[in-house]
Amino acid sequence: MSEIINLASRIQKQLPAELVRFMQAAGEIADSQGQSLYLVGGVVRDLLLGRSNFDLDLVVEGDAINLAHRLAQNYPGEITTHPRFNTAKLRWDKWSVDLTTARSETYARPGALPSVKSGSLRNDLSRRDFTVNAMAIHLDPNHYGNLIDLYDGMPDLEHKLIRILHEKSFVDDATRIWRGLRYEQRLNFHLEESTLKLLKRDIPMLDTISSDRIRHELELVLKEEFPEKVLRRAEELGILQWLHPSLKSNGWLSDRFEQARQLSSPTLPPVGLYLTLLTYHLTEAEAEQLITKLRLSKSLAQTLRDTNIKARLQSLADPALPPSSIYHLLHGYSPVAITTNLLASDSSIVRQHIQLFLNKLRYVKPTLTGNDLQSIGISPGPRIKEILNRLHEARLDGQVTSKQGEEEMVKGWLAKGIVDR
Ligand code: ATP
Ligand code: MG
């Protein structure tokens, strides 16, 4: 028998004290009910790697919903349950914990969602994706902190290897192909040799996965710290082309992703912008194919379509273009689509014009309202709209900068007969 590895002190060091106290108490409460509780999955992997991860996944040999209600008595918070899978989520201000009932799964056909029944921790670990994700830690008081490593995840961690648990893994669930790439690139690991062989063999199994699940996988890729690394690897292995044959991940894309990050908040990955940059070079027809393949939401689909304003960019390259024309060329398109063109364009004039639009022109409005115009004596009706439009143009082009200026301008138009009352 191999030596027992105890991780209690690592848990103590790496996780917030509040969470540690919760886990210990949860282990005791479960134990008092004759149930065994374990910490599993990514948090165990990251604990061993020294990476911070506060997403606690707990597995109980017993009944997760029942235990969650019991824990909520001592740790009052919001509780959500899914009786069909017998899982529960406990949420407090700062933290949340997922509790699942240990289960075994069978796949009715490749790519289908599994059918689930309760089982042992052993069953539960055997359905997982990679050895480094299939480790668990005992939380019951008598074994607290002991590592359970049935699939040699530890040596794989040491050798930086992503390895599936059995030969049919990618056939059962081809989303693991994308997952494998994500972990490989995020952790700077390698897909283990036979895993890589099977992954390549099973790429066609991606066809068994529903649009919604594939889209979800792509979103997870784009939420990574450096999605371009995953996309490049996906291209190298022929997986990106499987999404659409015209997609490319090259130096151009990496540069733009880097710029996209600089434009956005450090805590929120610019997922939409990444997607439109990735699809930037697709033709309209190709973009439609991808929209269908991924069943993109209406608004995301519109953003992809809006990105295709290359023809308009040509007009934007005229250095003498007045601000009002810049406004009309770009107004009405989604800001993400416009920002994509800002990052993608090679012309510095185009970039300046887009920047002017995004920073300033899109917010410009006349100060006078329809009511103000009526009190100057303009009759209600279409004339009001026409004058407001003229004022808007004048504002955009800097011909007027104050409310008083606007009033004088309107009066001037009336006096000269440019507009009627
Ligand atoms: P991350 O840091 O990306 O959240 P994670 O390991 O926590 O990594 P999750 O997607 O949160 O990953 O899933 C939690 C655990 O559930 C994984 O560690 C893995 O054991 C298991 N798992 C998730 N998806 C699958 C899958 N498609 N097939 C098998 N096991 C999976
Ligand atoms: Mg997770």
Per-residue model confidence as pLDDT tens digits over 29-74: 999 999 999 999 999 999 999 999 988 999 999 999 999 999 999 9
Q: What crossing angle do the helices spanning 271-278 and 298-307 adopt, rounded to 10°?
A: 50
Per-residue model confidence as pLDDT tens digits over 230-254 = 999 999 999 999 999 999 999 999 9
Q: Is the beta carbon of 133 within 6 A of some atom in ligand 1? A: yes
- Residues 221-232 have a mean pLDDT of 97
Residues whose CB is less than 8 angstroms from the CB of residue 301 and which lie 6 or more positions away in sequence, other chains included:
291
| Residue of minimum CA distance from atom 16 in ligand 1 | 41
Tell me what the pLDDT averaged over the chain comes to: 93
Beta-bridged to residue 117, according to DSSP, are: 104
pLDDT at residue 421, as a whole number? 73
Q: Looking at ligand 1, which atom is closest to the CA of residue 175?
A: 27
Instruction: State the Cα–Cα distance between residues 121 and 146, nearest whole angstrom.
Output: 14
Looking at residue 106, what is its pLDDT? 66
User: Is 86 within 8 Å of 65 (Cβ atoms)?
Assistant: yes
- Give the span between the Cα atoms of 111 and 228, in whole angstroms: 26
Q: Is the CB of 217 under 6 A from ligand 1?
A: no
- Which residue puts its alpha carbon closest to atom 17 of ligand 1? 41
Check if 232 has its Cβ closer than 6 Å to any atom of ligand 1. Answer: no
E-assigned strand segments in 112-270? 115-118, 136-138, 147-148, 161-162, 190-191
Instruction: Give Cβ neighbours of residue 357 (< 8 Å, ≥ 6 apart).
Output: 326, 327, 330, 338
Q: Which atom of ligand 1 is nearest to the CA of 183?
A: 3
Q: If you take atom 30 of ligand 1, which residue's CA is the nearest one?
A: 128
pTM of the model: 0.90
For residue 112, what pLDDT band results from cuts at 50, 70 and 90? Answer: confident
pLDDT digits (tens, 9 = 90+) for 302-334: 999 999 887 778 899 999 999 999 999 999 999
**pLDDT computed for residue 111 by the predictor:** 77
Question: Of 29, 15, 24, 18, which is closest to residue 71 (Cα–Cα)?
Answer: 29
The stretch 114-119 carries a mean pLDDT of 66
Q: How many CA atoms lie within 13 A of 226 on its CB side?
A: 12
φ, ψ of residue 105 to 5 degrees: the values are -130, 145
Average pLDDT over residues 264-287: 92
The arithmetic mean of pLDDT across residues 121-127, rounded, is: 93
Task: From residue 296, give the alpha-carbon distance in Å to each of 292, 336, 370, 380.
Answer: 7, 15, 40, 43
For residues 215-235, average pLDDT: 97
Closest-lying ligand 1 atom to the alpha carbon of residue 173: 27
Assigned token pair, 293: 């393949």
How far, in Å, CA of 210 to CA of 199, rounded?
Answer: 18
3-state DSSP assignment of residue 80: strand
42 lines ligand 1 (CB under 6 A): yes
3-state secondary structure of 265: coil
How much distance in Å is there from the Cα of 292 to the middle of ligand 2?
28
pLDDT of residue 114: 66
Locate the DSSP E strands across 18-86: 36-40, 56-61, 78-82
- Give the mean pLDDT of 179-188: 98
Ligand 1 atom, smallest distance to 127 CA: 29
Best of 44, 128, 189, 221 to mutate for ligand 1, by most ligand atoms within 8 A of CB?
A: 128
- Residue 228 Cβ inside 6 Å of ligand 1? The answer reads no
Looking at ligand 1, which atom is closest to the CA of residue 42? Answer: 6
